[in-house]
Amino acid sequence: MRAHHWIATGPGGLADFQFVEKEVGEPARGEVTITVQASGVNPADLKHAQRATDFPVDIGYEIAGTITAIGPETEIASGGGVVGDAVLAFRVSGGYASVVTVPAETVFARPEALGVLEAANLLLVGATAADMLRVASVQAGETVVFFGASGAVGALFLQIARSRSIRVIGVCGVGRGSEVTRFGGVAVERGEGLAERIALAAGEPIAAVFDASGRDDDLAVTNAIAGDHSRLVTIVGTAAARDAGFQAIGGNQAESAACRDSVRGELVDLAGAGDLVVPVSETFLLRQAVEALELVMAGRAGGKVALVPDSNDV
């Protein structure tokens, strides 16, 4: 089967991205071929290509679609799996594609109540949020602060925390407080007296602080608000975050990878039950992946972004 997919031919960022055609063979044992209906777009997609040393590199970590073929004696991660099943997959290689063959252990049945665009954007941000809570060992009843709470990871963090009876003070941009309260957080918008307003909103000691923004002005208030400085976690890893004492985590770290793999089934179940909502704000055609990533990297998406193939891409 012929299909289109995106590759990076060098470490030069989006300038080295190419949309090419390839032949997709029959899946081997332990593999599943998926006709992609939507691909999730994440900053990690570009960062992966920029860190690589061997090229070409297949782009994209998460997808949703239908099973086209399944290898012999093969079951997907959630059990079973036959041609025509609606599925999603995460921690794949080459998700920016119209058809892709992936390890069956990355594939989960897509609940009927979970839309395809949302399914393609659920697992990277959801698993990242769950990993952040793991690293800080947050317990039910504790109050934490999350910088960048109106973003994509923030939305899932707020919902997972709410399901675990964890109270979140969500720091966000001016005018974006409703995006925090929508998912159960206590919104504190940036501006004068931020540290004091966070402390007032918390009303009790702050157990942990999380950073998904990397903004110097956010991180500058950490010393004033943090109780236990061993429970500072960032997924951005900027110099400012390191200087503030945050522990930087990422999916390329062994413990984080194991955690993110282990929570996939739970996240799918929660989303299927309506207990996790994935806010999708934009869709682009698959061939417009560069434009989609430009929007995401500029921080202007206002929610998750999906790529959708059309008939010309298969």
Lowest mean pLDDT among 56-60, 68-72, 253-257, 300-304: 300-304
**In the predicted structure, residue 313 carries a pLDDT above the cut 80:** no
In a domain, 64, yes or no: yes
Lowest mean pLDDT among 63-77, 114-128, 135-149, 221-235: 221-235
Q: What is the mean pLDDT of the chain?
A: 96
Q: Are 138 and 37 part of one and the same domain?
A: no
Question: Is 263 a domain residue?
Answer: no
Identify the residue with better confidence: 106 or 299: 106
Within a domain: residue 289? yes
Q: Looking at the domain assignment, is residue 272 inside a domain?
A: no
Domain residue limits at 76 = 2-122+279-313
Total number of domains in the chain: 2
Task: Name the least confident of 79-83, 133-137, 235-239.
Answer: 235-239
Both 116 and 131 in one domain: the answer is: no
Do 92 and 175 fall within a single domain?
no
Lowest pLDDT segment from 109-113, 196-200, 308-312: 308-312
Instruction: Mark whether 28 and 44 lie in a shared domain.
Output: yes
140 domain residue, yes or no: yes
pTM of the model: 0.95
| Residue 202 in this model has a pLDDT that exceeds 80 | yes
In a shared domain, residues 288 and 247: no
CATH assignment at residue 159: 3.40.50.720
pLDDT, residue 284, reads: 98
Task: For residue 274, tell me if it sits in a domain.
Answer: no
Q: Does residue 11 share a domain with residue 101?
A: yes
DSSP string, the chain: -EEEEEEE-SSSGGGGEEEEEEE-----TTEEEEEEEEEEE-HHHHHHHHH-SSSSEE--SEEEEEEEEE-TT---TTS---TT-EEEEES-S--SBSEEEEEGGGEEEPPTTS-HHHHTTTHHHHHHHHHHHHHTT--TT-EEEEETTTSHHHHHHHHHHHHTT-EEEEEE-TT-HHHHHTTT-EEEESSTTHHHHHHHHH-S---EEEESS--HHHHTTHHHH-S-TT-EEESS--HHHHHTTPEE--TTSHHHHHHHHHTHHHHHHHHHTTS----EEEEEEGGGHHHHHHHHHTT--SSEEEEE--GGG-
Query: Domain check: are 234 and 135 in the same one?
Result: yes
Q: Is residue 273 part of a domain?
A: no
114 and 137 inside one domain? no
Q: pLDDT category, 291, cuts 50, 70, 90?
A: very high
**Do residues 51 and 106 both lie within one domain?**
yes
Q: Same structural domain for residues 110 and 130?
A: no
Q: Is residue 94 part of a domain?
A: yes
Convert the pLDDT of each residue in 148-171 to its tens digit: 999 999 999 999 999 999 999 999
114 and 145 in a single domain? The answer is: no
37 with 156, same domain: the answer is no
Report the CATH number that the domain containing residue 113 is assigned in CATH: 3.90.180.10
